[in-house]
Each structure stands twice: as C-alpha cells, then as structure tokens.
A = this chain, B = another copy of it.
C-alpha cells in the first residue's frame, strides 16, 4: 500500500491493530477464541512507532500483551487469528494461543505469560548479535509492572555492563492488572534505568505515533551504529480490562477521567476521516484472516506429543 506520508502510514498500521482487536472483541462471545486475550487497544501507537524503524532481521521479544507488536513487527494476520482459534495453521500450530504469539520469520522471537521473563532473552539475543557480529538491533518490550521483577535488574545490569545492541522499551500504562504504579514502585522507571548508565528517553504521550517513531528511529539508528544499549519509557493507556474483551472502568480501580483524557487525545478516535478511508480495506483483510482461521483444521492428535524435547 502507498501512503501520502509517514503519518498516514503509521496511522494505518495502528488502525489495523485496533480493528483486529475490535474484531476479537466481537468474536469473543462466540467462544471460538478460547484463550485469555490481553488486548492492546489504546497502546497501538507504541508498537507501530517502535517497529517502524526495525528490520525483519532485528529481533523483538515481548509479553502476553503482544497482539500489537506481533502485527507491527510484520506477523501474518491469518496465522494470528488461526492461532487464537487454536488451529493447526496458527503461528504456534495451536499450542500458543494469544499469550504466546511468535513470528520468527519477521523477528518476533516469542512472548511469554510470565511477567518480565523475556527481558533477559532479549539481552541474550543481543549478546549473540554482538558475539556473532550480526548487525541486528534487539528490542525488549515490557510493561511497567515487569520492572519490579528481579530479572529486570539483572537484565539491565548485564546489558549495560557488556554494552549490548539492545533497546529496552517499557510500555508504561500505569497498571499491573488492577494495581497502580504508586502501590508498586518506589522508583521512577527512567531514573532507575539511568542508574545502570543507560541513556534514557521518556515519552509522555504514547498516542503520538509519529513522535514515537521519530524518537525510536533515532535510538535504533544509534544502537545500530554504537552497539550500545538504550532505554525508552513510553506512557500509554490500556482501554480495556487487563485480560478479556470488556471495559472495566466502572470497577473503580482507576480513574475514568484519566481514561477519558487519553481517549480525547487518541488519533484513532479523533481522525474519523482517515479511519473512514482505511477501514474498508483493513476489514477486508480481517474478514479474510478470520475466514482462514474458521476454515483451518484443528491440530492433529499427534501434535500433542510432538516438539517436546
């Protein structure tokens, strides 16, 4: 597809993710997707802006909240829906579900449902890139909650100590399930990251997809050149409940005003003109992917015990 400018391109990509998530919400009551879904709605711009400057050979590791990054990094939509449906044609052959999307062919190297557990993987991949002289940039994506885990500290220290070509990207949506930052963290994430000697960038508006892209592309360029680690924190907002297709702003664990404030700045809501323009083609692609998933076979019985060791 051709776009008049970078804004439109990034907008398109973010909208595509949003519409995929909305289709999942639509489908969910049918029980065809029997998998806990951690939707990225509200956080699309982070993934799109971050991945824009990455090559397919650059590797990315993320968490269970990976739909946006899977798509932004170039994962196939058909294989994603098939995976959510538990079909043999899914990106994990039906063994992965929503929480473990991966697309090694485009550098999405895995996503894990254990918080913070892929951060060291990214560091290790960066170690391999450095030792094997691969010109890759490696990206670790994680939430604000992940920074509380011990493995996070160990990962940052090692990445900084060995000067590895990695971008550590914290998607700070201010929540871990229903807990606010204040209930969990005595530190500011970027300040703490600085203490390892990492250069840090902080972006207060995760909806500004062009800004995210610019900042990130600067950093990726820098890492590609200097082979040194960088840290980026981007504030963003998850619109839906932690896991599942619903809204839960009524539940009282977070302020409805804050949520509204984020929505009031959201280009995917504000720019209905562009939405109207791109929506049809995206919906077509989604229809096709869903149909692919519907049509696809279940995994063979033999799959149950294959690929274990």
Contacts and interface: CB of A to CB of B under 8 A. Distances in A.
Contacts of A194: 195
B196 A186 contact: yes
A154 interface: yes
A115 to B, nearest CB: 13
Interface in A128-163: 148-154, 156-158, 160-161
A178 interface: no
Given A149-B150, A152-B153, A195 B185 contact: no
A187 B161 CA distance: 8
Contacts of A104: none
Contact of A154 (B150, B157, B197): B150
Given A156-B186, A157-B185, A187-B196, 17 more contacts: A148-B154, A148-B157, A150-B152, A150-B154, A152-B153, A157-B187, A160-B186, A160-B187, A161-B184, A161-B185, A161-B186, A186-B197, A187-B195, A187-B197, A191-B195, A192-B195, A192-B196
Contacts of A188: 195
A175 B161 CA distance: 16
Contacts of A157: 148, 184-187
A48 to B, nearest CB: 31
Nearest to A157: B186
Interface in A159-195: 160-161, 184-188, 191-192, 194-195
Contacts of A191: 195
A137 B294 CA distance: 63
Contacts of A158: 186
Greatest chain B CB density within 10 A among A185, A186, A188 is at A186
Q: Which 10 interchain pairs have the tightest Cβ spacing?
A: A150-B150, A160-B186, A153-B153, A192-B195, A161-B186, A195-B195, A186-B196, A187-B195, A187-B196, A150-B154
